[in-house]
Amino acid sequence: MYKEVLLATAVGIVSLLTSMDTGAHHSAAMFDDQKSVTLSGTVKLFQWTNPHCWIQILVSGPGEPTEWSVEMGSPGQLYNKGWKPGTLKAGDKIVVVIHPLRDGTDGGVFVSATDAAGGPLVAAPASGATPER
């Protein structure tokens, strides 16, 4: 009897922990991972926030610049890849590659970024992890 109760408790705990992890993550179906778009522009805002960080980038075109919203990973994920809250500042010139939103609005999910000269925005951390791709 004791073994059955212990087994049922263990299965319940594992089920609870597993469901909490999957329930906290959302789908990436809104992004077209078969397409890549390269944006060259000026950082308007770099938001270091949970659950995801964001880059607001102003991209020049005919007429007024267009503001694009670029979704990134969580602060913890980015920090482990060498990013810091001050990595980007308003006015920085950058080139960002994204997978665009499927609905055609000006936004997408982060793939990679360089400074305007083509250099990396972050150096790989000492642990050997590589910057966000």
- Tell me how long the chain is: 133
For residue 132, the model assigns a pLDDT of 42
What is the band of 114 on the pLDDT scale with cuts at 50, 70, 90?
very high
In the predicted model, what is the mean pLDDT of residues 104-118? 94
pLDDT one-digit tens code per residue, 6-64? 555 544 454 444 444 444 556 788 999 999 999 999 999 999 999 999 999 999 988 99
Angle at 17 between CA 129 and CA 130, to 5 degrees: 5
The amino acid at residue 31 is F
Kindly list the domain boundaries of the chain, sorted by start residue. Answer: 37-115
Question: Taking all residues of the chain, what is their mean pLDDT, rounded to a whole number?
Answer: 82
pLDDT, tens digit, 9 for 90 and up, residues 34-49 = 999 999 999 999 999 9
> According to CATH, what is the number of the domain 37-115?
2.40.50.140
**What is the pTM (predicted TM-score) of this model?**
0.73
Mean of pLDDT values over 74-98:
95
Mean pLDDT in residue range 73-81: 95
Single out the residue of 27, 43, 48, 45 nearest to residue 109, CA to CA.
27
- 16, two tokens: 């609870």
How many whole angstroms from its chain centre is CA 75? Answer: 9
